Amino acid sequence: MPISAVLALSVTGCAIGAGNAAEPGAKDGSGNTVLRYQGAANSVTLPELAEDLGYFSKVKLKWVGNTTSGPQDIQSAATNQTDFGGAFSGAVVKLIAAGAPVKAVVNYYGEDAKTFNGFYVKAGSPIRTPRDLIGKKIAVNTLGAHSEAVIDTYLKKHGLTPAEIDKVQLVVLPPNDTEQAIRRNQVDVGSLGGVLQDRAIAAGGLRSLFNDYSLFGAFNGGQYVLRNDLTAKKPDAAKDFVTGVAKAIEWERTTPRAEVIKRFAAIINKRGRHETTANLKYWKSVGIASKGGAVSDRDYTQWTSWLEESGIVKKGELKPKDLYTNEFNGLASAGGQG
């Protein structure tokens, strides 16, 4: 039984109008294939980094707005409002199971010992065990995605029944608002990741309850998807994009941290979106477990129990090979995840 959602305090993501729809593979004046996408405020996505590093030779990115919701991002790609989007593995499964004409092509985030999503309470909170979460509110950035799957798995692993798990209340909040929601007692627990997590820890007054790395170890968390019509009509552009992202992953993995942060700051400053670079100092690692972000069956099968119990797939019907391809990833090796 999925965890219930009882309150939405804010609408996340950005609205993309129908006017952004276009034929896949539109060209710019230089003959490059234009790929529309949504970014993330105050941060640099892997495709943005890849473009800045000169890893694309056949594609050009076109920013159309920001999103804080993976499911919204990949839905936009599926409906031709953008050309690619990224989301948690389970959200990708749900989208494709619903008949969306997309396929996962490369991992874009993951968890390791340095980079993970944690669940935090105020330092003086009485919440210390999984059972203490019954009847409490947990802030997540969206429903049916990474945080919900992790919370559900955590509670089930510690013996809570489906009825008890259903009493844990998820509150949808933009990630940028979660820290203050915890501090103001609007929620009892909040999911924090990346630089937002590290900034909150540095400010003091919060305590970690658990994190997904301690629960699962290192793993790939979510993938970028491309529409099937785009990959069919523009396979060279698809390979250019995916391989460029894969190279950007390895650049982040092998480049000194200070240099990565400096590059991110330069990208943010020159794109002129009225953003801050203050949080970049908290960046630690790329997080992705596999070389070049190669996708594997494990990226989906580790969530089998949650996917089945949530009704996203029927028992025994998860078929990972139908969800992804590494054919466009020039850095992928046989077997995917390393």
What is the chain's pLDDT, residue by residue, as a tens digit (338 residues)? Answer: 333 333 222 333 344 444 444 555 576 667 889 999 999 888 899 999 999 999 999 999 999 998 867 888 999 999 999 999 999 999 999 999 999 999 999 999 988 888 788 999 999 999 999 999 999 999 998 787 788 888 988 998 899 999 999 999 999 998 889 999 999 999 999 999 877 888 898 899 999 999 888 888 888 989 999 999 999 999 999 999 999 999 999 999 999 999 999 999 999 999 989 899 988 888 888 889 899 999 999 999 998 888 888 888 899 889 999 999 999 999 986 444 43
Please indicate, yes or no, whether residues 208 and 238 belong to a single structural domain of this protein.
Answer: no
Please indicate, yes or no, whether residues 151 and 187 belong to a single structural domain of this protein.
Answer: yes
Please indicate, yes or no, whether residues 55 and 130 belong to a single structural domain of this protein.
Answer: no
In the chain, count H helices and then E strands: 13, 11
Please indicate, yes or no, whether residues 128 and 211 belong to a single structural domain of this protein.
Answer: yes
- Cα separation, 90 vs 98, in Å, equals 12
Please indicate, yes or no, whether residues 200 and 241 belong to a single structural domain of this protein.
Answer: no
Q: Where on the phi/psi map is residue 194: left (φ > 0), alpha (ψ -120 to 50), or beta?
A: left
Query: Of 216, 251, 278, which one is at a domain's C-terminal end?
Result: 216
Please indicate, yes or no, whether residues 230 and 150 belong to a single structural domain of this protein.
Answer: no
The answer to whether position 270 is within a domain reads yes
Please indicate, yes or no, whether residues 105 and 248 belong to a single structural domain of this protein.
Answer: yes
Please indicate, yes or no, whether residues 313 and 230 belong to a single structural domain of this protein.
Answer: yes
Record the pTM. 0.81
Query: Of 166, 197, 216, which one is at a domain's C-terminal end?
Result: 216
The answer to whether position 331 is within a domain reads no
CA 210 to chain centre: 19
The answer to whether position 14 is within a domain reads no
Give me the number of domains the chain comprises.
2
In b/e form, how buried is each residue of 312-333, taking b as 16+ CB within 10 angstroms?
bbeeeebebeebbbbebbebbe
Residue range of the domain that includes 150: 5-9+114-216
- Contact, 290 vs 220, CB < 8 A? yes
The answer to whether position 59 is within a domain reads yes
Please indicate, yes or no, whether residues 231 and 302 belong to a single structural domain of this protein.
Answer: yes
Please indicate, yes or no, whether residues 234 and 300 belong to a single structural domain of this protein.
Answer: yes
- Cα separation, 130 vs 255, in Å, equals 39
Please indicate, yes or no, whether residues 100 and 169 belong to a single structural domain of this protein.
Answer: no
Please indicate, yes or no, whether residues 317 and 248 belong to a single structural domain of this protein.
Answer: yes
- CATH code, domain carrying 147: 3.40.190.10
